[in-house]
Structure 1
Amino acid sequence: MDSPTLAIEGELTIYRAAELRETLLAALAAAPDGDLTLDLSAVTEFDSAGVQLLMAAKKSAEARSRALRLVRHSPSVLDGFQVLDLAGHFGDPLTPPPSH
């Protein structure tokens, strides 16, 4: 069974961290098998609060023996991951969305 996908749109920054944290935790809890895929293709801005949020969500999923997969990394997310050398931390291949 494929895990459900949650698309994050707009900013993944300090300005939305609290809102997105609740959304992520609710999506993880509601996933039928507990696994969740995050589509990051529509993330327009990404800062250290966004990094912390993704790290916390990954840790929360792992604590419940669940998987959190990150896919379709937007240019903003790719830049942040490359600057901070985070690709290995999350363990997901960096997959930019297809160009139009």
Structure 2
Amino acid sequence: MSTTSFAIEGELTIYRAAELRQALLAALGDGADGDFEIDLAAVTEFDSAGVQLLIAAKKSAAARGRALRLVGHAPSVRDAFAVLDLAGHFGDPLTPPASH
């Protein structure tokens, strides 16, 4: 089974939510089967609109019979997920930050 990847770079905030929503829905509905992976490694800012967008993406993927995976969590995403206790909602095993 194939995996479609979608990378988000920069802000995942209210200022880009509408733009990213359209791009995510287009990527989810491109006719591909299999898992859908969102790479969050290059997210510089993350707010509640970003949370809502990821929740909507999860629902859209499920409606299409696709599993959604979040990968490459940037520090801004890890921090928000920890504060909001979202890892369980996404079935997302967050990895601790690398030791320096």
Same fold (TM over 0.5): yes
- 1:19–1:64 distance in 2 versus 1, CA, 3 Å: same
* Structure with the largest fraction of helix: 1
Q: What does the per-residue CA deviation read over 1:40-96, in whole Å, with 9 as the maximum and x for residues that have no partner?
A: 000000000000000011011112211111001000000000000000000022247
Tell me how far 1:31 sits from its aligned partner.
5.2
Tell me how far 1:32 sits from its aligned partner.
1.8
RMSD: 2.1
Distance 2:96 2:27 in 1: 23
Unaligned runs of 5+ residues in structure 1 are none
Contact 1:72–1:97, Cα closer than 8 Å, also in 2: no
Distance 2:4 2:73 in 1: 17
Unaligned runs of 5+ residues in structure 2 are none
Match of 1:3 in 2: 3
Distance 2:9 2:44 in 1: 7
Distance 1:72 1:96 in 2: 11
- Pair 1:36 & 2:45 matched: no
- 1:97–1:35 distance in 2 versus 1, CA, 3 Å: farther
4+ aligned runs moved over 3 Å, structure 1: 95-99
Identity %: 76
- 1:82–1:21 distance in 2 versus 1, CA, 3 Å: same
The alignment's TM-score, normalised by the length of structure 1, stands at 0.90
Aligned residues: 100
Match of 1:45 in 2: 45
The alignment's TM-score, normalised by the length of structure 2, stands at 0.90
Contact 1:42–1:74, Cα closer than 8 Å, also in 2: yes
- Pair 1:56 & 2:56 matched: yes
